[in-house]
Amino acid sequence: MNDSKDLWTVGDVLDAMSGSNPPDYVMKIVHEIQTWLSSAVSEESAIDPADIIGGDRQGTADLEYLFSQLEWAGRHADLVPVLKESGSHEDAVILSIGPILLDEGMRMMVDHAALFASETCRRIWMISDTWIIGDILSYIPHIKALLARGLQLHFLLVTPWGYSEIPWTMEK
């Protein structure tokens, strides 16, 4: 929650409703991603409108820089696609940022939880800069299966100006 007792963000309200409080390391990752995204919309790195219209997103060189800045998180969670050692933590952070499309992020989440870390993974923090309902709908059976196995799934939508957790709980 914000330091100011009078100012609540949408994320604060959703957290209060869901009872979800991301661990400090997840919040640090979110902050670093926000900083990275902010550089994409700042005046110093003007984006060509043709790139936006064409659907191009930030380049892979920028993404490699971000990933190098996030390697420290590997001490706390499996960091996908940056991880050095697969399946060693109960928490996993799946990054679907920049040129990594949401569909790719969803696939990485399912692969990591069901195949590569099925014995150790208990919580997944999916962090993305996009929310596309069509990509999510195609993974509903996978999400239900992961939830049925007892995994806690968290989806954090990050923008340069803030973040919000989008609940994924499913009625049975």
Q: 6 pLDDT exceeds 80?
A: no
Rounded Cα distance, 71 and 61, in Å: 16
Amino acid at 165: E
Q: What pLDDT score does 98 carry?
A: 85
**CB 94, CB 80: distance < 8 Å:** yes
Write the pLDDT tens digit of every residue in 144-161. 999 999 999 999 999 999
Beta bridge partners of 78: 92
| CA dihedral over 21, 22, 27, 33, signed as positive or negative | negative
Q: 35 pLDDT exceeds 60?
A: yes
Q: 55 pLDDT exceeds 70?
A: no
| Confidence band for 52, pLDDT divided at 50, 70 and 90 | very low
Q: What pLDDT score does 148 carry?
A: 93
Identify the CA nearest to 38 among candidates 101, 129, 156, 125.
129
